[in-house]
Chains A and B, each alone.
Chain A
Amino acid sequence: MKTFDITYFDGKTSGAYQGTLTLAYAHWDIRIVLADGAIKSIHWPLKDIQPSEFMGDTNTFKYGDFPQETLECTDPALDEALRETYPYLNFFKKEYYWAIKKGTGTFLLIIGFIIALGWGVYQYILPEIAAVAAMTVPQKTEISWGETMYHNMIEENNEQSPLQYTVDDSLSVLANQFLHKIDFKTNYPLHITIVKEEQVNAFALPGGHIVVFSGILKKVKTKEAFVALLGHEATHVINRHSLKNIFKSVAGYLFVAFFTNDINGVSAIVLDNANNLSNLGYSRKLEAEADANALTIMENNKVNPNGLLHLFETLQGDSKFAPPALLSTHPLTEERITFAQQHIHQVKNIAEHKDLEIIWKQIQSQLKKENTLQKKGKSAK
């Protein structure tokens, strides 16, 4: 039977006793040398020996109740001997014993698996959950959230702030008249706001607010294209795309925070920024949905669905010089264009829409007026 050198502490003082440990049947046999040179024999019945958490260079075992006797052993062979002598007992906590003994490869595999799992959840499951959660929000609540966001980004009481947009009041009035001539078949209180921004962009807030930049309005050539734009943005509202997006973004943030929180706060910030970037635009699926529904709206209102193609052409034509901001939030893919071309077949049932034409003309002349005013203002400076 093998004997190990140990250091023994009796729990009453910190006095160290050198001695030996023999692994006997049903107990540990400890012999220590006392100060006067005498040998003392101590028995530790197995059932009262407390397991050590980790196997290491120095292994410590405790025995009995408080204040416990302890022994320290630095012999690496003890681990093997314990397993051979008492194969049915665990002197080290199983999961950690396994972990420390296991090769690094296993852990790389585990990490790879966790990362893949995390990515899968983040990419595929989380958006679905967020979408379902977004659908449970009562419409009233959604509208009030949208109002709050709207008031945060639209400048009021002439308080100028670089983060806020300036509303073009006369254009907004006209655009709303235009909007209300179209039946979107929805109970959302749709409202359009034209803001003085040269960027070619438009976006929809949850609950009904559609914000259109004057930059895109100047590029849109026909009233049909404008209907297409409104139909597209209105669908983001009606089908709660904006709300889903916000939920997805928040869920993504929480997920990233949860996944990295225990490890490190800084990486959460890095990952969170990545999360924000990827969430700026709508997913292809939502974009396609908005296009399809815009076509339906146009058909329902007997508006020439070619307007959607005109809108795409306008945007594409522009992107030769500088990609319009709209495309970064509403990626215009070949798929979208092909989809529109394939689905525009009912070009028959089209009404004249004199009312829309009148408002559209008014919008155009108002734009021209503002343009000349702007030029005059510049030359005056």
Chain B
Amino acid sequence: MESNQSNDNYHLFSFNGDGLELFKIQIVNWLLTLITFGFYYPWAKAASLKYNYQKTIFSGSPFIFHGTGKEMFKGFLKLVGIIVVFYAAIGILSLLGSRIFMVIGMIVLYAGILFAIPFAVHGSLRYRTSRSSWRGIHFGYRGERRSLAVLFLKGILLSIITLGIYGAWFITDLRRYIIKHIRFGNLTFEYTGQGGDFFWLRLTGGFLSIITGGIYLPWFVVDLYNYFLENIKVTQNGKPLVFENNMSGGSLWGLLIVNFLITICTLGLASPWAQVRTFKYIAQHIWVEGEFDANALEQTEEAYKDATGEDLADYLDINLI
């Protein structure tokens, strides 16, 4: 199907979700999660993801999320197990009564969490990409768990030693590694951001946000988004594709304020509408530029089954993209 929404060199996104529909879906999710004492959660999550994917259209075709509640339920159970062990450990430590034991125990536990993060990120990336498709072609992530863990722990360590200054380089390294290993048919991805640039961007943006009492924050967020998107280089058959966006701090302010108000005034009931507004905003303001042959992607990835990371990442509140 030749898209009627995109010119030859402009490939657009759109989000066709509807607040009311999403609201109804969430009510069903909510009720089922409530009566199953939370065990429906993975199915609820699968349903919301499926809805959001299905309503996200790129160049005329929707994305599909293939993950199922059943797959994620297994990951969810493992996660529940980990949490139970974690809290049981804390409980036992506090029963021992010794302050030193407690402190050492807590350090070990938090270090354990820190170690778990790269595994969660890896698992989540593998799972999420393998379950995402567009025009029948699945995404994939081919990074190695060990390399990511080494990269992550090195970055954390250096960030701590440099009192956070290394953070910008750390995040850049992570992005470079992750994005380089994302696959989508015969497209290759690359992140060209530089730690130094990112550092100054964050420093000036953070500084301006503080001295303006937060007013500058949306412009800062837009700058960060811009920097991230500008530096993703996609190549198809040797031809470059770039992400472009025309978000502005002003329009982001508008989005955030309205979303905040409708959510607060309804005690959260209107959050599906806020979510739809956000997705629509992002889809409207981002597009891909370049010679893109939508028909020429080949299936390159194999089936992948393991969803532990998906829930772990959720619990640790890691936002991947």
Contact = CB atoms under 8 A, between A and B. Distances in A.
Contacts of B61: 7, 16, 72
Interface string A55-77: 01110101001111110100000
A104 B136 CA distance: 34
Contact of B264 (A70, A72, A267): A267
For this complex, into which size category does the number of interface residues on chain B fall? 35 or more
B134 to A, nearest CB: 7
B298 interface: yes
Contact of A104 (B20, B25, B263, B268): B20
A53 B47 contact: yes
Interface in B168-182: none
Given A102-B24, A266-B263, A67 B47 contact: no
Contact of B136 (A9, A52, A267): A9
B14 to A, nearest CB: 11
Interface stretch (A256-264, A279-287, A305-313, A335-343): A256-264
Interface in B262-306: 263-264, 267-269, 271, 294-299, 302-303
A67 B263 contact: no
A12 B134 CA distance: 12
A110 B50 contact: no
Interface in A4-46: 7, 9-16, 18
B268 A58 contact: no
A62 B133 CA distance: 11
A60 B64 contact: yes
A53 B27 contact: no
B47 A58 contact: no
Contact of B54 (A53, A107, A110, A111): A53
A13 B28 contact: no
B169 to A, nearest CB: 31
A100 interface: yes
Contact of A263 (B2, B269, B297): B269
A324 to B, nearest CB: 34
A86 interface: no
Interface string B42-64: 00001100110011010001101
B154 interface: no
Given A53-B50, A67-B138, A267-B267, A14 B297 contact: yes
Contacts of B47: 53, 93, 96
Interface in A151-194: none
Given A13-B296, A14-B296, A270 B267 contact: yes
Given A54-B54, A58-B57, A270-B264, A14 B136 contact: yes
A95 B24 CA distance: 10
A62 B24 CA distance: 25
B62 A99 contact: no
Contacts of A102: 24
B27 A99 contact: yes
Given A53-B51, A66-B303, A100-B24, A266 B297 contact: no
A14 B295 contact: yes
B185 interface: yes
Given A12-B298, A14-B137, A95-B28, A57 B267 contact: no
A175 B2 CA distance: 90
A143 interface: no
B23 interface: yes
B31 interface: yes
Given A14-B136, A70-B135, 6 more contacts: A12-B298, A13-B299, A111-B269, A114-B30, A266-B260, A266-B268
16 contacts: A10-B136, A14-B136, A14-B137, A15-B296, A56-B54, A66-B303, A67-B137, A67-B138, A69-B136, A70-B135, A99-B25, A110-B27, A114-B31, A262-B30, A263-B268, A270-B264
